[in-house]
Every structure is written in C-alpha cells, then in structure tokens.
Structure 1
Amino acid sequence: MTGNGLAEAIGRHGLVLRGGFVFDKGEAAPLALSGRLARSVILIGNAGASYWPHFRRWREGRPADLENPLDTWCREVIGGIAQDFGARAVSPSDRPFLPFQQWAMRSEGLKSSPLGILMHPEYGLWHAYRGALLFDVELAVESVHEPIHLCDACVGKPCLKACPVDAYTPAGFAYEDCLAHVRGAEGKPCRTVGCLDRNACPYGAAYRYPAEVHAFHMKAFAKL
C-alpha cells in the first residue's frame, strides 16, 4: 500500500495497517499536514490484543490517574509515525468527529454486526481502528474486494442472546440498561470477562481479547 516501511513502523507497536483509499476528486476530505485537502487516508488499528503489551509497558511510566490512557498512547504512537512519513495523524476521538466507521467500511469492505461493531472475516469482532494517516498525495492503495459477511451466515445470532438485560436487540442498543447492569453487582462477569454478547460470537476466536483487556475497556465504559 505505502511500502513495507510504514507497516513495519506500525507493527513495532503491535498495531496493523487497516486498509485505506484515495479520496474522490471534489470530495470534502479533511486537511493533510500541508494544509491542502487530503488525497489518501490509511487506517491504523489492532487485530486482537497484540498492542496490549506495548501499551502496558508505556502505561507503567505514567501517572495512575492519567485520563484516557489508551487514547493518549495511540495519539503518541500514531502521531510519531505520521511525522516520520510526512502525514497528518487523526484520531476517532477528534472533535469534530471524523467518519472513521465509513472510512473503515470503504477501506476493508466490512459491514456492521448486530452489535454495531464491524464484522471482520478473520478477526471477527476482535479489532478496532485507533487512528489514521492523511496524505496530500495519491497512494497506490489496493482495490477492496467485498469479503463474506459472516453475520449473514450466522443463523442463531448468539450475540443477541447472552446479555442478561437484552442490551442489544434489532431495535438498537439499550445504553442505559447496559450501563446500569455493568455497574451493579450482577454485572461483575461483564466487568471481568467483557460484554457477554460480544463474547458469544463464534467468529475470530483466535483474536479474542484476554480478560485484562476486557476489564480495562469495561472499566472505562462504566467509569468505575
């Protein structure tokens, strides 16, 4: 896509290239580092928890009360890579929000699962997009071939049956019900092993996050 150098630089932090594309001419693209409209975007993220040891080592040298540590680490890592490759780094938490999910669907041809997480043909639900690099030149990006959407082949939909409070339904995500359950005494399993609906998905099991990663994310979600 952009040469082995970028993939290697990202890989040193346990992250992976997550596709990219060239913006259409006339498209309202964000600005690149030069101040001109970006012509290409490359997404960076994780597949499974290979990033976790790198983040954990970084975390040990920071204050215990550091706010949004994972977001801070991602910004630092991806920002440094952007400097090395002459790109502008952007994050899913930037304001105003950038259309990361649309970019992801466009880059990898993925579709949403019943839980709202994009379903990957290899990683299942165990992946995320941590940032992106914006370039003011057209990069040689591989064409996307729409993968098989595993949710279409899943008849039983176990991801909609494991949650004790039915937080995920075809009608949407019952955020308040989920949050109250996770914060309560009966929500301890969710806090320690992660979302039960997400864990019920049979796909991408080799990339499933370990308990430590689940606990970190659930603590952040519940703000406990």
Structure 2
Amino acid sequence: MSGHLCGEGWRLKIADALAAHGLVPRGGFNFTSDDRPPPGMAETPARAVLLVGQAGAAPWPHFMRWRRERPQVRENPLDIWSREIIAGVAERFGARAVCPNDRPFLPFQQWAMRAEGLKPSPLGILMHPEYGLWHAYRGALLFDHEIPVEAFQKVIHLCDACAGKPCMKACPVETYSGQGFDHPACLSHVRGSTGGSCRTQGCLDRNACPYGAAYRYPAEVQAFHMAAFASPW
C-alpha cells in the first residue's frame, strides 16, 4: 500500500524511533535525474526522501506532554515539536530533516502522492485507503544516498466510490465547492458567532466523511487545529 522501506532492520529502527513519539514512516522514494531535490546533509541534492507523519491522533499525548514542559512556546507549537522530534531522528540516521512549513516550501503533497499513491479528496486533504482524512505529514528525512524501497500497490481512491459526497454538503457556509476552497468565508465563519461547533468539534465537512472513522481525531485535537487555523499568528 505504501512505498515502504526494504531492509527490515533499518526500516524497523527508524519506525521504532518515530513510534516513541506517535509518528510513523509514510513511504519514500529515490529521486531521479528528472527531479530537482532539495539539498541533503552534504548540501548537495538529496538522493532519497522518507516521509514522516501520523495516522490518527497517536502523537497527541506525546505532544501534550512536551507542551506542558514548554509553556512559553505559544506560536506554532505543533510545528516546533514536530521539527524537534524529526530532527532528532534524522541525526540518528544520517539524514537532513525538513518540514512542510520550511521556506521555500517543499512539495510535500506531491512527494506524498508519489510515495503512497494517494490522491486528493474534494477537501484537498489526501484520501488514505485506511486512515481516510485522519492523517498528516509532519516532515521528511532527506538522504545523501539511495534507500531501498518497494513500489506501493495501486490503492483504491475511496472518493471515486463515494456517490453522495457528504464532505461537500455539511459546511453551513459552503466553504468547499466546484470553485475550490473559500478560505475567507471559512475563516470568517470559524471566527464568528455561528462557528462555535467548528471551533470545538472541527471542520463539519471533514467530519462528514465516512471513511477512516477509527482514526478520527478526538474533539480536543480538532479544536486545537481549528484554533490554530483561526489564530491571527
């Protein structure tokens, strides 16, 4: 299903290092001569990438424990935590850590589609055949050497089989439509007097999706992400 690393011992060591923080490897691939990869550890173009992310809300207790120890970190705490953890794992395995909010932005979504064979849902979030919309990519490890990977098996894009598209109908201000995501309308609603349920329970459209329900983020996790979305920072 994913572009999993071969070489069982090495793969398991990386997976174990990430699992200690609720994170998981999310597939990888070797760059080709057609790519323009970012620099690796040697400051020359990287040869391979391994994505790091989460399935469901597994990192939440680890992040919350870190947050209690860092009360002074108020802006983008999840990004800071992710960077610290992934950088530590990268150092152990001779890789360079990169994250989705790095500047200049790196093509994380394109990397993810290439590594795991996923496609975007109508909401723009990549639809996973097991996790549904309840997963995320927190960073990646860039290697100066090629890594052994297996080609993923072709995955079923669940959105293709979903006739009703409930994810397009739950939002009271119709944030998602055939015209794309209306960011100003969504932000205004979430910040306004009628957006209370979105602030406390999460995006209504995302929650309307029937897939991956076992991995659905708890309300407190969704409220955290909505607060970050609505923040003026």
Q: Does 1:120 align with 2:133?
A: no
- What letter corresponds to residue 163 of structure 2 in structure 1? V
C-alpha separation in 2, matches of 1:44 and 1:215 = 23
TM score, norm. by length of structure 1: 0.98
Deviation of the 1:66 alpha carbon: 2.0
C-alpha deviation, 1:65, in angstroms: 5.2
Aligned mates of 2:148, 2:28 — CA distance in 1: 10
Q: CA deviation at 1:64?
A: 4.7
- Aligned counterpart for 2:103 among listed residues 65, 76, 95: 95
Are 1:140 and 2:148 counterparts?
yes
Which amino acid in structure 2 is aligned with residue 100 of structure 1?
F
| CA deviation string 1:115-139 (max 9, x = no partner) | 0000000000000000000001110
SS at match of 2:194: helix
> 1:186 aligns to what SS in structure 2?
coil
Contact 2:67–2:73 (Cα < 8 Å) also in 1: no
Q: Pick from 207, 213, 216 the counterpart of residue 221 of structure 2.
A: 213
- Give the counterpart letter for 1:50 in structure 2: A
Q: What value does the CA root-mean-square deviation take over the aligned residues?
A: 1.0
* Residue 18 of structure 2 is aligned to residue 10 of structure 1: yes
Indicate yes or no: 2:172 matched with 1:183.
no
**Aligned partner (choices 130, 137, 141) of residue 129 of structure 1:** 137
Secondary structure of 1:50's partner? coil
Given residue 136 of structure 2, which amino acid in structure 1 is its aligned partner? A
Amino-acid identity (%): 66
Instruction: Please say if residues 163 and 197 of structure 1, whose CA atoms lie closer than 8 Å, have aligned partners that are also in contact.
Output: yes
Look up the match of 1:47: 55
Instruction: List structure 1 runs of 4+ shifted beyond 6 angstroms.
Output: none
Structure 1 SS opposite 2:25 = strand
Task: Letter of the 1:213 partner, please give it.
Answer: V
Partner deviation per Cα, 1:92-120 (whole Å, 9 max, x = no partner): 00000000000000000000000000000
Q: Deviations over 1:70-100 (max 9, x none)?
A: 0000000000000000000000000000000
- Following superposition, the deviation at residue 12 of structure 1 comes to 0.5
Check the 8 A contact 1:167/1:177 in 2, yes or no: yes
In 1, distance between residues paired with 2:135 and 2:222? 13
* 8 Å CA contact retained: 1:20, 1:141: yes
* Partners of 2:43 and 2:132 in 1: CA distance: 37
Aligned partners of 1:167 and 1:150: how far apart in 2? 21
Shift of 1:26: 4.8
Q: Please list every run of 5 or more consecutive structure 1 residues that lacks an aligned counterpart in the other structure.
A: none
Output the CA distance in 2 between the equivalents of 1:9 and 1:88.
15
Which of 15, 34, 53 lines up with 2:42 in the alignment?
34
Give the structure 2 partner of residue 195 of structure 1.
203
Q: What is the distance in 1 between the residues matched to 2:96 and 2:154?
A: 28
Report the CA distance shift for 1:64/1:215 in structure 2 as closer, same or farther (over 3 A).
farther
2:163 is the alignment partner of 1:155: yes
Gaps of 5+ in 2: none
Tell whether the 8 Å contact from 1:162 to 1:196 is kept in structure 2 after alignment: yes
* Offset at residue 152 of structure 1 (A): 0.2
